[in-house]
Amino acid sequence: MATSNAELEIVKQLFSTLSNDDKKSFLKSLKSKEKQEQNFTFTKEIKECPYCKSTHFKKNGTRNNGKQSFLCLDCNKSFVTSSNTILYGVKKDISVWKKYIHCIIEKYSLRKTAEICGISLPTAFTWRHKILDALQEMQESVKLDGIVEADETFMPISYKGHHKDFNFPRLAKHRSTANTKRGLSKELVCIPCIVNLNGKSVAKIANLGKPNVKALNSVINGKVERESIFVTDSLRSYLKLSNEMSLNHIRIPRNKYSNGSFNIQVVNNYHSRLKSMLVYNFKGVSTKYLNNYLVYHNFVNFAKESRKDKEQMLFNHILNTNCVSRNISVANRPAVPLLVA
């Protein structure tokens, strides 16, 4: 807050040094920019029905809000350009969504984001996960090549948040309290991660406790191009996986940090930045939302594009991606999602 006040004072001092004509032109430019943002509308080329994917449709008048309506000639359902997207049925202007995406890229807290965008705290939380759910589809198309490093990290199971009619499977405890069992027990969530040197990464919850071939395969298989250099530690499960995927496997021997010029320092740095974000930026996250924060980390922290490019990429992605979640489904997710036994 002190920094913001100091910056405001600097702006006031600079503004006071301008001539009257310069002051008028400056204020006029601000008003025109604000008006341009308010007049920004959602446009999308309609190629198919969002419900049945049929290409046989026609214009069907306009809705009460002035939006063009279409009618599918096969399923007989009407739709608009925003149907089946995140923006459908949302009363807030699209300029608010642009502000929200800026807040996501800047890693602002939910309270600060809600204040900037003029929305409630529950709405800010729901929007975050609706956007991250859409971002999951972007990760599905990611494939890594070149030198690919792989390793797994572990996070304790967290039931953070309010759970209506939820029975805890264990006693409640404070964050950062040690687990009741030592080592790689079922109290830890295993997260296999693969990264390359170009800023691409994939990470996802695989299972509880120590990873096996099936758990690693569920995350890594199909995500690495054939003949890539696959650098891992000495875990034996990677041997079978690399043979099945036709990869040039390089193992780091036990109690060693490198094998020739190859190491896994990039993926270790990825783990360090991930845990720093989860602990210090978000004060811990619930396990049922962990996959979303993994893809958040991949896109915001690890990808090498500029922040401005990331904002534009994310904005375009949510406009052209089907919404896979509704408000009520965000909170009603299983406490420990899709874990391999």
What's the CA gap between 129 and 339, in Å, rounded? 20
Placement of tokens 């109290």 in the chain: 187
| Secondary structure (3-state) at 16 | helix
Of 321 and 245, which is predicted with more confidence? 245
Q: What 8-state DSSP symbol labels residue 92?
A: S
Contact at 8 Å (CB) between 167 and 238?
A: no
Angle ∠(310,316,319) on CA atoms, nearest 5 = 140
For residue 327, the model assigns a pLDDT of 67
Q: Is the pLDDT of residue 82 over 80?
A: no
Q: What digits encode the pLDDT tens for the residues 145-169?
A: 999 999 999 988 888 876 666 677 6
Chain centroid to Cα 60, Å, comes to 36
Q: What 8-state DSSP symbol labels residue 178?
A: P
Highest mean pLDDT among 40-44, 55-59, 190-194: 190-194
Contacts for 13 with CB less than 8 Å, ≥ 6 apart: none
Q: What digits encode the pLDDT tens for the residues 100-134?
A: 999 999 989 899 999 999 999 999 998 999 889 88
Contact at 8 Å (CB) between 337 and 288?
A: yes
pLDDT interval class at 43 (50, 70, 90)? low
For residue 32, the model assigns a pLDDT of 62
Look up the pTM and report it. 0.78
* Enclosing H/E stretch for 32: helix 20-38
What's the CA gap between 146 and 250, in Å, rounded? 13
pLDDT interval class at 341 (50, 70, 90)? very low
Give phi and psi for 13, each to the nearest 5. Answer: -65, -45
Residue 64 structure tokens: 């009460």
What's the CA gap between 17 and 23, in Å, rounded? 9
Highest mean pLDDT among 9-13, 91-95, 164-168, 268-272: 268-272
